[in-house]
Amino acid sequence: MADKKHSDHHQEQHWVWKYVFSVDHKVIGLQYLITSFLFLLFGFGLLMLLRWQLAYPGQPVPLFGRFLPEALAPGGVLMPHFYNALGAMHGTIMVFLGMVPLGVGGYGNYILPLQIGAPDMAFPRLNMMSYWVYVVGGILMLSSFFIPGGAAQSGWTSYPPLADISPGQTMWLVAMIFVITSSLLGSINFIVTTLNMRAQGMTLSKMPIFVWGQLVTAVLLLLAFPPLEAAAVLQVMDRVFGTSFYLPTGLVIFGQTLDVSGGGHPLLWQHLFWFLAHPEVYVLILPAIGIVAEIIANNTRKPLFGYKEIVASMLFLGVMSFLVWAHHMYLAGMSSKLSNFFLVTTLIISVPSVAILTCLILSLRGASIRYSVPMLFALAFLPLFGIGGLTGLPLGLTTTDIYLHDTYYVIGHFHYVVVTGSLIALMGGVYYWFPKWFGRRMDDFWGKVHFWGTVITMNGIFFPMFIQGLAGVQRRLYDPTAQAHNLPTQPLNVVSSVFAWLLFLAQIPFIWNFFYSMFKGKKSEENPWKATTLEWACPSPPPHGNFETPPKVYRGPYEYSVPGAKTDWTPQHVET
């Protein structure tokens, strides 16, 4: 069969072409996965430094303080501009180099073609290129720490005019353009693969929710990233060629009038940035919802409740995510009448998220729940993502946002959505698909240790932030004790910081478990979770070309406990 000859040809390739510059979506998926986890770890390291300064302002950092360069942290005490750089790079690395490549690049690349029964991505070479463009972007982003002027220091949102005049932003912009190009090429690949290369019989209504999530995510990436790329080009022109797209006339910086032509508008950047950044946050959560849906369906041994509602909500979420961006700008000087428009669209977009969460919780009714490690993560996702969603309500409402905007309440809100929402689901995905990737099982005991350690410490970090936010503590403060109204809640900073360091300790069993089980984990059979979706219909780890014979699909993705069936799971590709 052509497929047989085709996979032999693969064997005698030099290992560089097989593992480093591979065009196989599975190898690229694992490359994305491990690279993005390393970036997440690095970004988290920056945060742990930053939290020291928040908990004990002005005191030298123990242990690692000695290694920090004198210009940035004399005697181990962090300088304000280094603190700002740590904050900006923490945000950028976690969002653009960590979460999105993990959710879309890692899981999407590996699992999507398998779940739709395709031999590989539509454009394998383009797929490899988008990974390596992402790696180059990541290296450029990290190198910005070592160039004169240091890393970007004006927040991951890089608002001008501060971003136009403060050092370190140019390398950030160049790296961002690389990362954006990589995501753009990746999204084209995903859409074409999902639409064109589905197995025979796999109509759109038989696609798993994970595939739907990746499809909507790819459309968001495709259409939302170019405006940020254009805005980044404009900011590069401002910084390098002295134009003033974002610099109004008559700026006086430390007493010196800025000799630029002026005429620019700072709000222009905010509009273009948030035009991307709101779809971006849905790009962060949709893959996670897909993973949670897969794990819940599998471990409740019954079809998901309201498959059509979830798919409809995802599509509606995708469309609406383009119309809500300026709820980040209620107080930014935008016209207050226009805020009412964005207030209403923000209300409308909260409905599909509530609908998805309702359907996922109701999927537990009438189930026979198996408390396996991935299921623990998926179950923890539901209430914690709920908290994240609920705390978005006072921020989305114009009047209460007056008080809560740019305070720690905002930081608590988006960390509850991204960290205890998206990241927990992605960790659950590692435990769930590990047997598929390496043919071995991760250790259950250490999985549970990692789960409880992570969930407890994450709540310990982020819940105090709501209390600080209500007390009016502003975000991005180098020294929280410098202002009277922040002093009473300063002990909460210590609490959050301690839990942040404990969260790092809680990750050690996970890292150990991941790399140890890769080689010495318990051997697992092809379909350890007894799942029905197509990725379990091929050997684990699947050979090049995935399926011996292209599978045919006969039924929906979650046909569990079909009355009268021999086993409580009937895979999509089995005829009967």
Partner 1 sequence: MTESNYGWGLPTAASTFAKEIDFGIYLIHAAMFAIFILWGIFFVYLLIRYRARPGVAAKHEEHGILASLIPDFIVLAFELCLIFLYAIPSWSRIKVETPGAQDSLTVEVTAEQFAWDIHYPGPDGKFGRRDPALVHASNVLGLDPNDPSALDDIVTVNEMHIPLGRPTLMGLTSKDVIHSFFVPDFRIKQDAVPGMRIPVWFEPTKTGKFEIGCAQLCGFGHALMRGDVFVHAPKEFENWLVDQKPALNPTGK
Partner 2 sequence: MSSTAHAEHLQEPVTGIPNGKLGIWLFLASEVMLFSTLFTTYIILRVAAPEWPRGWEVLNVPLAMTNTFVLITSSVTMVLAYAKAVTREKAAFNKYLGLTIALGFVFLGIKAIEYGAKFEHRIAPSTSIFYAIYFTTTGLHGLHVIGGIIANSVLLWLSNKQWDHPLFVGRIEYAGLYWHFVDIVWIFLFPALYLL
Partner 3 sequence: MKHHHPNIKLYLGVFAVLMALTVVTVLVSYLHFPKTLAILIGLAIATFKAGLVATFFMHLKGERALIFSVLGVTFFFVIFLYLLPIVDMSMVADRVIHAPTAQNTQPEHGH
- By CB under 8 A, name the binding residues for partner 3: 195, 219, 223, 227, 248-250, 262, 265, 267-268, 271-272, 275, 322-323, 326, 333-335, 337-338, 341
DSSP character at residue 62 = T
Burial of 8 (0-12, 13-18, 19+ CB in 10 A): exposed
| Residue 234 or 356 with smaller CB distance to partner 2 | 234
Partner whose footprint covers residue 322, from partner 1, partner 2, partner 3, none (CB < 5 to 8 Å by kind): partner 3
Phi/psi at 522 (5° precision): -65, 130
Euclidean distance between CA atoms 79 and 65, whole angstroms: 12
Return the residues of window 126-155 that contact partner 1 according to CB under 8 A.
Answer: 153-155
187 lies in the site for partner 1, by CB under 8 A: no
Return the residues of window 395-414 that contact partner 1 according to CB under 8 A.
Answer: 397-400, 402-407
Candidates 250, 520, 549, 576; binder of partner 1 (CB under 8 A) is 250
| Residue 346 or 454 with smaller CB distance to partner 3 | 346
DSSP character at residue 523 = E
346 Cβ contact list (under 8 Å, min separation 6)? 324, 327, 396
Euclidean distance between CA atoms 175 and 284, whole angstroms: 20
The amino acid at 349: I
User: Could you tell me if 175 and 295 are in contact, meaning their C-beta atoms sit under 8 angstroms apart?
Assistant: no
Output the smallest distance, CB 404 to partner 1, in A: 7
The β-bridge relationship of strands 440-441 and 256-257 is unpaired
Partner whose footprint covers residue 115, from partner 3, partner 2, partner 1, none (CB < 5 to 8 Å by kind): none
Reduce the DSSP state of residue 522 to 3 states and report it. Answer: strand
Positions touching partner 2 (CB under 8 A) are: 2-3, 6, 9-10, 23, 118-120, 122-126, 184, 187-189, 191-192, 195-198, 222-227, 229-231, 233-234, 237, 241-245, 260-265, 268, 272, 545, 550
Phi/psi at 272 (5° precision): -70, -40
| Residue 222 or 384 with smaller CB distance to partner 1 | 384
| Residue 323 or 467 with smaller CB distance to partner 3 | 323
Burial of 157 (0-12, 13-18, 19+ CB in 10 A): middle
476 lies in the site for partner 1, by CB under 8 A: yes
Return the residues of window 368-387 that contact partner 1 according to CB under 8 A.
Answer: 368-371, 379, 382-383, 386-387
Task: Name the segment binding partner 1 (CB under 8 A); options: 9-17, 43-51, 221-229, 250-258.
Answer: 250-258
Output the smallest distance, CB 160 to partner 1, in A: 8
| Residue 195 or 344 with smaller CB distance to partner 1 | 344
13 lies in the site for partner 1, by CB under 8 A: no
The β-bridge relationship of strands 256-257 and 252-253 is antiparallel
Euclidean distance between CA atoms 6 and 161, whole angstroms: 56
Nearest to 45 by CA among 63, 25, 23, 19: 63
Sort residue 398 into left (φ over 0), alpha (ψ -120 to 50) or beta.
alpha
H-helix or E-strand spanning residue 257 = strand 256-257
The encoded tokens of residue 382 equal 């539901």
Output the smallest distance, CB 395 to partner 1, in A: 10
Partner whose footprint covers residue 424, from partner 2, partner 3, partner 1, none (CB < 5 to 8 Å by kind): none
Output the smallest distance, CB 152 to partner 3, in A: 24
| Residue 131 or 416 with smaller CB distance to partner 1 | 416
DSSP bridge pairs for 257: 252
Output the smallest distance, CB 231 to partner 3, in A: 11
301 lies in the site for partner 1, by CB under 8 A: yes
